[in-house]
Every structure is written in structure tokens, then in C-alpha cells.
Amino acid sequence: AQSVTQLDSQVPVFEEAPVELRCNYSSSVSVYLFWYVQYPNQGLQLLLKYLSGSTLVKGINGFEAEFNKSQTSFHLRKPSVHISDTAEYFCAVNPNDYKLSFGAGTTVTVRA
């Protein structure tokens, strides 16, 4: 079985400051890892994904994540946030094509 733990439920951050959202996973098999963003009252949008290859993955809107197999982590980072980055962020794991399992989400609130 596989599961995803997002270590921070809420992250307040000032505009132009860096942000890191932590995600740990547990799985007995190789997995594929994802970060999704949900803006208020909207659906989920894919930020980035790790399938294989380079452990540093770059996504949209200036986000990047690093896959660390030894620590079973896939933390998301952005060096400088904007007000528009205020949203819910979900880490997800997909061991096969038919089931994407999500973490509980991290609420990011960017303040001026």
C-alpha cells in the first residue's frame, strides 16, 4: 500500500519570500509523484510530476520539487511567492495508472 503525508497543514508566507511544502510518501513499490494546486473554487491543476530521471523537477509558475528516495520525500519549493500563489497544494502518489492517492493538502496563504 502507499500513502502520502503532507507535513504542514497551513503555511502563511509573505509576498516575495521563499516557500517549501513538505511531502513524504510510503510505498513498497516504485511510485510516481505529483504536486497539484487548487485555487479557490476551482479544480486541480498539475504543477509538476516525477516519473524518473533527474531528481530535481521543474514545474509551472516557478515551482520545483526534489525527489529524495532515501528520505522518501518530494518537497515543493518556490524561491519567491506572489499573492496569486495563495491556494491549496496537494502532493499525490501514483503506483499505477488507475489510482492517484492524495495527501491531506497544505493551505498556502501569501500576505503582502
Partner 1 sequence: DTAVSQTPKYLVTQMGNDKSIKCEQNLGHDTMYWYKQDSKKFLKIMFSYNNKELIINETVPNRFSPKSPDKAHLNLHINSLELGDSAVYFCASSQEGSYGYTFGSGTRLTVV
Query: What are the backbone dihedrals phi and psi of residue 86, each rounded to the nearest 5 degrees, phi first?
Result: -60, 120
Min CB(6)–partner 1 separation in Å? 11
Measured CA angle at 98 (ends 50, 106), to 5 deg: 50
DSSP-derived letter for residue 59 is: -
What is the binding site for partner 1 (CB under 8 A)? 32, 34, 36, 38, 42-46, 49, 51, 88, 90, 94, 97-102, 104-105
Min CB(46)–partner 1 separation in Å? 6
Min CB(80)–partner 1 separation in Å? 26
